[in-house]
Structure 1
Amino acid sequence: MKKFGVLNKDLSGELAGLGHMDEFIICDAGFPIPKEAKRIDLALTKGLPGFMDTLKAILSEVVVEKVIVAEETEKVSPEFFEQLRDIFKYQEFVLIPHSEFKNKSKEVKFIVRTGEFIPYANMLLVAASQADEFKKNFDLF
């Protein structure tokens, strides 16, 4: 049995399979996941697991170089948005319209659905190589 890290079999396998520049999404419970997308559904009940707990677990195993968030997040969920900005100080942080974010969800490698109910608690992450320049400022939590 695995001793630590992500224990969910499907998520652990997908994280292990990420290559440089692969994209994946962590989303809230209400995000419209495309039917053709690889879905890893962690949602158990309202708030479980939460977005931040899920993000923390994932970032304990992968390094990302870029994140994409819907620009509406800043106005609708400002506290959540500020948390993301604080976490991703050294990564490229891109804002796009939510409609464009939904279109991008059709192209990602997989989507992780949480039990989060914060509006617009969705983020696309771009995997980095394990190069030192990406790892040196990656102690996010």
Structure 2
Amino acid sequence: MASVRQVQITFDCADPERVARFWCEVLGYVVPPPPQGFATWDDYDRTLPPGRQGSSFACMDPSGVGPRLFFQRVPEGKVVKNRLHLDVRVGTGLVGEERVAALEAECARLVALGAVRVRLLLADDENESCLVMQDVEGNEFCLD
């Protein structure tokens, strides 16, 4: 049986480039180079039919370790809670007040980028504290 070598995470959204650039800032990702023969993504985008221009965008881990993120425009807006979300690991190894402080500091940085703070879930008998947030189009994610 073949093993999985790579995973791409795909987001449905209204504005692919805006959401992709937000996640680049969150994760320290970069926009991949444009296709061969094009100096910029804008140059490539102009070659597409009008209805497909701006319809997708991507970002990638510059180290090649994390999954590629792909963003595709869809006509419908988000109407319910995500069935899948990303956990952005900023408090790994931290507990108590030190963990909450790390979560709050990252939350403040991401709110400045357009994220929305939803709620802080404090540690209990099973889980450490985490902070629920939404990206620039309302997709839920956690600072963990």
TM range (shorter): under 0.3
TM-score by length of 2: 0.25
* Larger relative contact order (Cα-Cα within 8 Å, sequence gap ≥ 6): 1
TM-score by length of 1: 0.26
**Higher radius of gyration, 1 or 2:** 2
